[in-house]
A and B are shown apart, each in its own frame.
Chain A
C-alpha cells in the first residue's frame, strides 16, 4: 500500500467516525495515533457498535468479537484504516 492510499483511507474513516457518532469536531482533528476509546476521543462500547454498522455499510466489513485483531482494530484511526485497507470489499 502506498502512502497516498493510506492517507485517503485515514481521512475517509475520520469523516465516517465524525459523521456516524455526530462528533463536534473536524475529521482532520482526529490524531491518527491517538486512542479512539477511553482516553483520546473517549468513545465507548455503544460507539463501537455504531462504528461496526457504518463499516459494514460503507466497506462491507463485518466485525467479529473473536477476531484476534479486534482490540487492535479500534485502538486508533491509523490501525482502523490499516484494517479497512486490508479487508475492504472482500
Chain B
C-alpha cells in the first residue's frame, strides 16, 4: 500500500447532500403539476430499492424528472449512470459489451434498451416519510458522460459527485439562482448531454431552480412551456433553437433569461433575441470532458468569466504549451482553444485549433473523420471538408472528397453511416480522380479551393 493511500484514508472524506433543497421546495414542474424535494427523494429511494444489481446503469429516460429520479437512485445504490447522446441500437449494444455488469433504465415502454433493462413505473406524486437527506461522498463516481465518438469509440468522461455538486453551486452563484425567488428552467437540450445534465437535472438539486419536464423542442412546445411556468424563467437552449425560435416569430413571456451553449452564439442572434424578448442572453463555455466552466453576456462581453472555483493551469508538454482547466474534484482538461487572458481573470477565445469542428453540440476531429473515411474498403484517398460558414448556418454539414475507383458514393455513405455519428456524415460525397496533394502529401488550401471550384462548376 502506498503512503498516499494511508494518508487519504486518515482524512475525513468530504460529503455533499443528494439535494440542498428543503423538503417542500419545488424541483420539477410539468404539464401535470409540481414535484417537491420530498416527493423526489421518496421516488429515488423507491427506485433504488427496485433497481436490479448492476455496477453501471444506462439512463435512457427522456422525461427530465424520471431521468433525475433514475440518476439519484443510482447515486444512492452507488451505481454509475452512463449518459450517452447516441442511443442507437448499435451504441447500446456496444455499451452492453464494454461494461460487464450493466443494465439500462427507461420510463418509456417503447424503449427496448439493453438485454438487461429496467422499466420505471409511475413515480410521480407520493410524499414519503420525512427522512434525513442522504449524504454522498464527494469522490463517489456518479456518472460517465460520453462524447460523441468520431473514431467509432466515444470517449468516457468520469464525473465524481463532488465535481457535479461544486459546479452546480458555482453556476448558482454565476446565474444568481440563490435569491429568494425560485427560477424555472425550460431546457431544450437532452439530459444525456453534459450541458443539459448540468442545467436541467443537477441545478434543481442544488440551486433555487425548478426544471420543466414537459416537451420543449419545437417552437410551439417552448412557447407553451414558458407560458405555463412561473416567472422568473430561464430558457436553457442552443444557438440553433434560438435562431429557429426567432425565425418562427415565437412570442415569449416577460421576466425571461436565456442561456445558450453547445456552439458559438453569433452576436447578431443574441442581439436579436435580446431585442425581441427583452431577455438577457448569457452564453456558457464548456465541454463534455470538463462541464460548464465560464460564461458571458454575448452582446456586451467579448471576454468570458470563469465560474467560481475554476482555474487555468499552463502546462508544458514537449515544445507545446497548453492550458489545462482545473475545477474541484475534476480531472484537469486541456483546452482545444487558444485564449488570451484579459483584466480581472477574464479571458478571450482566439479560435479553436483548426482540426476541431462542432455540429449539433457534438465535437469531432477532422483528422479522426478522415481516418474513418480512408479505412473504408475501396477508398484510396479521401478528405472531409467543413464549409466556412459551418458555425453560422444550421443546415451546414460536411462534405467529402473521395478517390475510390469502383466504389459508389452510396456504398461509401453506407459504410460511413455504420462508423460515425450521423451529424458528421457528408452531405455530398464528391468522387474525384485524385486529391491535389503536394510533394509532402499535404493538401494546400489553395489547391483544395481550386478543386472545390472545379467541382461546383461541374
Q: Which residues in B have their C-beta under 8 angstroms from that of A20?
A: 395
Q: Which residues in A have their C-beta under 8 angstroms from that of B172?
A: none
Query: 6 closest Cβ contacts across the A-B interface?
Result: A65-B215, A62-B220, A24-B428, A63-B218, A65-B217, A66-B215
A50:B395 contact, CB within 8 angstroms: yes
B428:A49 contact, CB within 8 angstroms: no
**A62 to B277, alpha carbons, bound, how many Å?**
21
B417:A42 contact, CB within 8 angstroms: yes
**A27 to B444, alpha carbons, bound, how many Å?**
35
B385 to chain A, nearest CB (A): 14
**A46 to B395, alpha carbons, bound, how many Å?**
8
CB of A45 closer than 8 Å to a CB of B: yes
User: Quick one: which of A22, A46, A50, A52 has the most chain B CB within 10 A?
Assistant: A46
21 contacts between A and B (CB under 8 A): A20-B395, A23-B427, A38-B88, A42-B417, A45-B360, A46-B359, A46-B394, A49-B217, A49-B241, A49-B244, A50-B244, A50-B395, A52-B219, A52-B244, A53-B248, A62-B219, A64-B221, A64-B224, A65-B218, A65-B221, A66-B215
> A37 — nearest CB in chain B belongs to which residue?
B422
> A38 — nearest CB in chain B belongs to which residue?
B422
CB of A7 closer than 8 Å to a CB of B: no
**A1 to B247, alpha carbons, bound, how many Å?**
32
CB of B240 closer than 8 Å to a CB of A: yes
CB of B83 closer than 8 Å to a CB of A: no
Give residues of chain B (200-242) contacting chain A, Cβ–Cβ below 8 Å: 214-221, 224, 240-241
Give residues of chain A (32-77) contacting chain B, Cβ–Cβ below 8 Å: 38-39, 42, 44-47, 49-50, 52-53, 56, 62-66
Interface residues of A, Cβ cutoff 8 Å to B: 20-24, 38-39, 42, 44-47, 49-50, 52-53, 56, 62-66
Number of B residues, CB within 8 Å of A: 26
Q: Which residues in A have their C-beta under 8 angstroms from that of B417?
A: 39, 42
CB of B50 closer than 8 Å to a CB of A: no
B423:A53 contact, CB within 8 angstroms: no
B358 to chain A, nearest CB (A): 12
Interface residues of B, Cβ cutoff 8 Å to A: 88, 214-221, 224, 240-241, 244, 247-248, 359-360, 394-395, 413, 417, 422-423, 425, 427-428
A49:B218 contact, CB within 8 angstroms: yes
Q: Which residues in B have their C-beta under 8 angstroms from that of A52?
A: 218-219, 244
> A20 — nearest CB in chain B belongs to which residue?
B395
Q: Which residues in A have their C-beta under 8 angstroms from that of B88?
A: 38
A50:B394 contact, CB within 8 angstroms: yes
**Does more than half of chain A's interface fall in helix, strand or loop, or is it mixed?**
loop
* A-B pairs under 8 A by CB, number: 62
A44:B423 contact, CB within 8 angstroms: yes
Q: Which of B215, B240, B427 contacts A49 (CB 8 A)?
A: B240
**A65 to B244, alpha carbons, bound, how many Å?**
15
B251 to chain A, nearest CB (A): 13
Q: Which residues in B have their C-beta under 8 angstroms from that of A45?
A: 217, 360
A46:B219 contact, CB within 8 angstroms: no
Given A38-B88, A46-B359, A46-B394; 7 other pairs, CB 8 A cutoff? A39-B417, A42-B425, A46-B240, A49-B240, A62-B220, A65-B218, A66-B215
Q: Which residues in B have their C-beta under 8 angstroms from that of A23?
A: 427
B215:A64 contact, CB within 8 angstroms: yes
> B215 — nearest CB in chain A belongs to which residue?
A65
A60 to chain B, nearest CB (A): 11
Decide: A24 near B218, CB < 8 A? Known: A42-B422, A46-B240, A46-B360: no
Q: Which residues in B have their C-beta under 8 angstroms from that of A64?
A: 215, 218, 220-221, 224
Q: Which residues in A have their C-beta under 8 angstroms from that of B425?
A: 42
> A46 — nearest CB in chain B belongs to which residue?
B360
Q: Which residues in B have their C-beta under 8 angstroms from that of A49?
A: 217-218, 240-241, 244, 394
**A23 to B429, alpha carbons, bound, how many Å?**
12
**A63 to B395, alpha carbons, bound, how many Å?**
19
Q: Which residues in B have their C-beta under 8 angstroms from that of A65?
A: 215-218, 221
**A51 to B220, alpha carbons, bound, how many Å?**
14
B239 to chain A, nearest CB (A): 11
B174 to chain A, nearest CB (A): 28
**A64 to B218, alpha carbons, bound, how many Å?**
6
B261 to chain A, nearest CB (A): 15
**A38 to B427, alpha carbons, bound, how many Å?**
13
**A21 to B395, alpha carbons, bound, how many Å?**
6
A41 to chain B, nearest CB (A): 10
**A22 to B399, alpha carbons, bound, how many Å?**
12
**A27 to B136, alpha carbons, bound, how many Å?**
57
